[in-house]
Amino acid sequence: MAAPVDDMFSLCVDPCKVTSSVEVQFIDNIKGKGLFAKRRIKKGETILIERPLVSSQFLWNSLYKYKACEYCLRALETAEENARRLSCNPALSLPHPELCRVRPELHQACPQCQVMYCSSDCRQAAADQYHRVLCLGPSEEDPDHPINKLKDAWRSVHYPPETSSIMLMAKMVAVVKQAKDKAHWQKLFSHFCSRAANEEEEIAHKLLGEQFRGQLGLLHSLFKEALYDEHLSRWFVPEGFRSLFALVGTNGQGIGTSSLSQWVHACDALELPDQQREQLDSFIDQLYKDIDKATGEFLNCEGSGLYLLQSSCNHSCIPNAEASFPDNNFLLHLNALSDISAGEEICISYLDFCQRDRSRHSRHKILRENYLFVCSCSKCTSQMDELDVTSEEEEGEAEGETEGDEMEDEMTDV
């Protein structure tokens, strides 16, 4: 297995800095860069483990009381607390509570604003990197504080399901403000693609269209009021703000953490007599049914982060790698879905599992609007002769979307 990438500075001084398994290479002016295997990688192998430059919990997710470490996004509820909240059953007791890895006795709050961290290390890391700029102190609950006004405006623009956060942009600014070497951090962030449009393909990011001009104008004004810094003046002019918006929209990697999920995986690994295994599996199956009935599909603490190596991975509708977060924090594990030869490009899917099963036309629509490119992977190439229509199920969804066009203008999705 690859070793965790603990020292982001050594990793990121050079955008083509390599691990023992991979390297970043420039491909062409259309695809830009890509991540390539330096050696043969076997199916199931962990290719790399990477920390984000910055990460942030989604604002609606936080407002709905999904408790996560402000720095590393580790879920702060115990598995039992998590299960009780999600199932709306305050009397629920989980078997094998010793398998829960959450340690509430280690949790610490910022002494000024009281936001929570999973450990003193995370609290100190946040303070050293960005939190001194973003700490609201006694104004944490003040709706008139400029940062709270910015958060509220973002929530009014981007309803769940969330795919990005204005706070990623805020943390980028805060990191540069606090850094001794401001140019170094600006250089790191410059490695992310920040095009608001793909002029060659005449594609514009869907949140930067004419219908959202007023909302973007409000966000830009509040962003500038809350965070302006002369060293970053180019990020605060309208065009720079649009580019920053496109950067987090097209590069942000979703992060999901769950103490309950970790507990379930630990239960799966237990060696039990057949009868006890059957009872435990039955309990877990029923628990998830109860959660689905009470809460639906929103199970995890959710956020997004900017990862230098992972962001170099191009998309394929038949990916040979996928990202996961098995440590219940922001550490991204990139795992091989198939054998990968030395010199082969490592590709992930920007689409979720269900979206990958849609028609070529539907997949292209999602990728054009969100990531500003037309996919030419082997699956898309093999389906070039298909008619540009969606399945009957997708047509039904499209009709529902058409009827709700007015709502869609308010409920946007990066």
- Give yes or no for a contact between 177 and 133, defined as CB atoms under 8 angstroms apart: yes
- Collapsing DSSP to helix, strand or coil, 172 comes out as helix
Alpha-carbon span 269 to 271, nearest angstrom: 6
Residues 206, 135 share a domain: yes
pTM of the model: 0.84
The tokens 């890895």 sit on which residue?
Answer: 101
Q: Are residues 25 and 125 in the same domain?
A: no
Same-domain status, 105 and 228: yes
User: Which residue range(s) make up the domain with 27?
Assistant: 15-52+303-384
Residue 9 lies in a domain: no
Same domain, 150 and 202: yes
Domain final position from 254, 284, 315: 254
Rg for the chain, CA atoms, rounded: 22
- 34 and 89 share a domain? no
Listed residue (32, 315, 198) closest to 24, CA to CA: 32
* Phi, psi of 158, rounded to the nearest 5 degrees: -120, 90
Cβ-defined contacts of 104-108 (< 8 Å, 24+)? 104/76, 104/78, 107/76
Structure tokens at 238: 């309208």
- pLDDT tens for the chain, residues 1 to 414: 443 333 333 343 333 444 678 998 888 777 788 999 999 999 999 999 999 999 999 999 999 999 999 999 999 999 999 999 999 999 999 999 999 999 999 999 999 999 999 999 999 999 999 999 999 999 999 999 999 999 999 999 888 888 888 999 999 999 999 999 999 999 999 988 766 555 454 444 555 556 567 888 999 999 999 999 998 999 999 989 988 888 888 889 999 999 999 999 999 999 999 999 999 999 999 999 999 999 888 899 999 999 999 999 999 999 999 999 999 999 999 999 999 999 999 999 988 878 888 888 888 888 887 777 888 888 998 888 776 665 555 544 444 433 333 333 333 333
Pairing relationship of beta strands 345-348 and 314-315 according to DSSP bridges:
parallel
CA distance 373 to 363: 11
Same domain, 236 and 197: yes
Amino acid at position 329, single letter: N
Contacts of 253 (CB under 8 A, 6+ apart): 52, 304, 305, 306, 307, 310, 311, 323, 332
Last residue of a domain, one of 194, 224, 254: 254
Q: Which two tokens stand for residue 375?
A: 């996919």
Is 85 within a domain? yes
* Cα separation, 19 vs 29, whole angstroms: 25
Does 31 share its domain with 152?
no
Q: Please indicate, yes or no, if residue 394 is contained in any of the structural domains.
A: no
Q: How far is 219 from 27, CA to CA, in rounded Å?
A: 35
The sign of the torsion formed by the CA atoms of 81, 50, 63, 159 equals: negative
Q: Which of 196, 221, 254 is the last residue of a domain?
A: 254
Question: Within a domain: residue 267?
Answer: no
What CATH number does the domain containing 350 carry?
2.170.270.10
* Cα 129 versus chain centre, distance: 19
Q: Which two three-digit tokens encode residue 247?
A: 């950067």
Q: Do 24 and 66 have their domain in common? A: no
Q: Which two tokens stand for residue 318?
A: 């038949």
Same domain for 100 and 233?
yes
Number of domains in the chain: 2
Helix 238-251 to helix 166-178 angle (10° resolution) is 110
Strands lying side by side in the sheet with 22-28: 22-28, 32-37, 345-348, 314-315
Please indicate, yes or no, if residue 326 is contained in any of the structural domains: yes
Mapped onto helix, strand or coil, the DSSP state of residue 34 is: strand
